[in-house]
Amino acid sequence: MIELKTKPEILILKETGDIVSEILSEIVSNIKPGITTKHIEEIADKLFKKNNVQPAFKGYLGYPGSICVSINEELVHGIPSRNKIVKDNDIVKIDVGIKHKGFYGDVAQTVSLGNTIKENKDLLQVTYDSFENIKKYANKYCKLGDISASVQEHVESYGYSVIRDFVGHGIGRNLHEKPEIPNFGKHSTGPNLMPGMVFAVEPMVTIGSWEVNILEDGWTVVTKDKKCCAHFEHMLAITENGCEMLTKITNKF
């Protein structure tokens, strides 16, 4: 069963989405070559306090960080560290989750620093453009499989691969709710989309093969072939007339 949210619940989720987007945007505008990923987390911690919200990831299944910072071949769940320094030309993935008024917000983006090679910039753009297709299918006349298939078709048409081992998710009073939202699948399959469903959709795309490993820290997900990968995440609500985006990504990537 996919839980349907009421209109007042969606209003709170929208508020939560606005706050988490604001926090992501401030974090991203502070990332410069030479900064450690721990320092990025410290900036995030100040913003959580300032906005009076809790970091959703801290302690989640034992995750030690309050945000995730993943560089180049690292896809998701990078643990902030004093030993990891962001360099010119890196691509950096920032994933932020909060809890506000009993509801969760979750948003992520990839940024490129300095003169990042065109190959990586293209990867980021194509990954983000998945949301154009997602928006086409995120409505009550479609099924969940249409969203998944549309991401896969878009990404593979550029010769990239979608990650198989990690998925988007429903979101609400829990960070992860039903359904799982893979970035691959078949049209006209899966549950019908209905007004009141709220999803965190997370296109995860790599230049090489989709296979991933988890590092010895037990969290950091990296591509097996060490090729660069990108991740973006937006929350959206299915409405009577299509969908409403609940998060914003305002920084250039």
Q: Which residues form the interface with Co ion (CB under 5 A)?
A: 106, 200
List the interface residues with ligand MF3, window 165-224 (CB under 6 A): 169
Q: Interface residues for ligand MF3 in 96-125 (CB under 6 A)?
A: 97, 106, 108
Select from 41, 90, 95, 177 the one that contacts ligand MF3 (CB under 6 A): 95
Nearer to ligand MF3 by Cβ, of 90 and 177: the residue is 177
Task: For residue 41, state whether it binds ligand MF3 (rule: CB under 6 A).
Answer: no
| Residue (142 or 201) nearer to Co ion, CB | 201
Give the CA diameter of the chain.
49
Q: What is the rounded CA–CA span in Å between residue 106 and residue 68?
A: 11
Give the residue with the Cβ less far from ligand MF3, 97 or 182. 97
233 binds ligand MF3 (CB under 6 A): yes
Q: Which CA distances in Å does 8 have to 13, 50, 195? A: 9, 25, 13
The partner in contact with residue 95, picked from ligand MF3, Co ion, none with C-beta cut-offs of 5 to 8 angstroms by kind, is ligand MF3
Q: Tokens 């709170």 identify what position?
A: 12
Indicate the burial class of 141 (C-beta count within 10 angstroms; 0-12, 13-18, 19 or more). Answer: exposed
Least Cβ distance, residue 68 to ligand MF3 (angstroms): 5
Other Cβ atoms less than 10 A from the Cβ of 208: the count is 15
68, interface contact from ligand MF3, Co ion, none, CB < 5-8 Å by kind? ligand MF3
Among 5, 39, 77, 100, which residue sits at the site for ligand MF3 (rule: CB under 6 A)?
Answer: 77
Q: How far is the CB of 233 from Co ion (least distance, A)?
A: 5
- Number of residues lying near ligand MF3 (CB under 6 A): 12
User: Does residue 57 bind ligand MF3 (CB under 6 A)?
Assistant: yes
Cβ-contact 220, 209 below 8 angstroms: no
| The two structure tokens encoding residue 99 | 């809890």
| Phi, psi (rounded to 5 degrees) for 145 | -60, -25
Name residue 105's beta-bridge partners: 98
> Using omega within 30 degrees of 0 as the cis cutoff, is the peptide bond preceding 179 cis?
yes
Distance, in Å, from the CA atom of 212 to the CA atom of 202, rounded to the nearest integer, reads: 16
Give the separation between CA 100 and CA 129, rounded to whole angstroms: 29
| Nearer residue to ligand MF3 within complex by CB, 1 or 61 | 61
Strand 74-76 versus strand 168-170 pairing type: unpaired
**Nearer to ligand MF3 among residue 77 and residue 99 (C-beta):** 77
Choose among ligand MF3, Co ion, none what residue 60 binds, the Cβ cut-off being 5 to 8 Å by kind: ligand MF3
Q: Which residues form the interface with ligand MF3 (CB under 6 A)?
A: 57, 60-61, 63, 68, 77, 95, 97, 106, 108, 169, 233
